[in-house]
Amino acid sequence: MTKIAYIFPGQGSQAVGMGKNLFDNFPASREVFEEADDALGFSLSEMCFSGDEADLQLTANTQPAILTVSVAAYRAMAAEGFPEPSFVAGHSLGEYSALVAAGVLEFADAVRTVRKRGTYMQEAVPVGVGGMAAILGSDIETIRAVCAEAAQGQVCSPANINSPSQVVIAGNAEAVDRACEMLKEKGAKRAVKLNVSAPFHCSLMMPAQELLAADLEQLSYGEPLCPVVHNVDAAVNRRAEAVRGRLTEQVSSPVLWSDSVDTLIANGVETFIEVGPGKVLSGLVRQINRDTRCFNVDNSENLSNTKEIF
């Protein structure tokens, strides 16, 4: 039987209206939104379905919102008889969704934790001090070398290694600008500054990492129902005791997404189902390996279409 990985999106996949179709069509999804509202003490569901876009873009709101929609999609799939995944993985924030799906974290714990995670990451660096940019069409060795040269005493490093042709860099805004210019001179196809509120997954996030570590200490971790591939090392993990450390390190470490997909494929995965809003990860998986089959589930229609593959 073919091996299937469920993969869960991170920040950047949010859009007002997300999850409404799931809420309307699946009781299991509706319960997830109600649980999120209770756990957070405000109507996250209303923010997802019909809120102000500027509010949804705030990191402290975006992270619990994407987690909730992703888990709502996963619970709908489970209720509709989808098979359990062979592996799970998530991109940055999405790793929390993956851990809920794998039974490692309770959903209420996860949604409260990522709400705080988003707040800590937002507040770690004053607005305007940090920056991120997507580098297209340059290799990781060149990008690492240029970031080191462009830093000039500041921070500049790869933050998301998304595919062989897409790497996001992060750090002090001036250093990121210098790196973009240098990479274009060295032949990068594009260097696009990202509209983000903070420079995620670089050493400037250490204050957020230290605060989150204390919260992660307080959580209970169940043994994974299926193996998890983590962002920080792209390695397969089957032990609950390893999770807290991986989630802690993840805040300031690069997301090794391309390597994570390679790990899943090396372990026999042929089919990837992106569970949650958007198709960002499906696109990246196809960039990494064109022989994979990719599907996404974030509403009743594509859930029904995806179910037909089984």
> pLDDT averaged over the chain?
96
Amino acid residing at 244: R
Of residues 66, 45, 69, 46, the one with CA closest to residue 57: 66
Categorize the per-residue pLDDT at 2 as very low, low, confident or very high, splitting at 50, 70 and 90: confident
For residue 257, what are its two tokens?
């997404």
Which candidate in 45, 70, 86, 92 is catalytic? 92
- As a whole number of angstroms, the distance between CA 264 and CA 261 comes to 5
Strand locations in the chain (E):
3-8, 87-90, 130-136, 156-163, 166-172, 190-193, 228-229, 236-237, 269-275, 293-297
Q: Which of 29, 45, 201, 253 is catalytic?
A: 201
Distance, CA of 25 to CA of 7 (rounded, Å): 22
Phi-psi domain of 17 (left: phi exceeds 0; alpha: psi -120 through 50; beta: other): left
- Six token digits for residue 244: 């807290």
Averaged pLDDT for residues 154-158: 98
DSSP state for residue 196 in the 8-state scheme = -
252 assigned to active site: no
Predicted TM-score (pTM) of the model is 0.96
Which tens digits make up the pLDDT trace of 44-91? Answer: 999 999 999 999 988 999 999 999 999 999 999 999 999 999 999 999
pLDDT of residue 1 exceeding 70, the answer is no
pLDDT category, 226, cuts 50, 70, 90? very high
User: CA gyration radius for the chain?
Assistant: 18
Query: Is residue 300 flagged as an active site residue?
Result: no
Geometric angle at alpha carbon 228, from 223 and 229, rounded to 5°: 150
Q: Is the pLDDT of residue 229 over 70?
A: yes
pLDDT tens profile 105-149 = 999 999 999 999 999 999 999 988 999 999 999 999 999 999 999
C-alpha 262/C-alpha 234 separation (Å) is: 9
Residue 180: pLDDT band with limits 50, 70, 90: very high
Kindly state the percentage of the chain with pLDDT values over 70: 100
- Backbone angles phi and psi of 229, in degrees to 5: -105, 120
Query: Which domains are delineated in the chain?
Result: 3-124+204-307 (3.40.366.10), 130-196 (3.30.70.250)
What pLDDT is recorded for position 73?
98
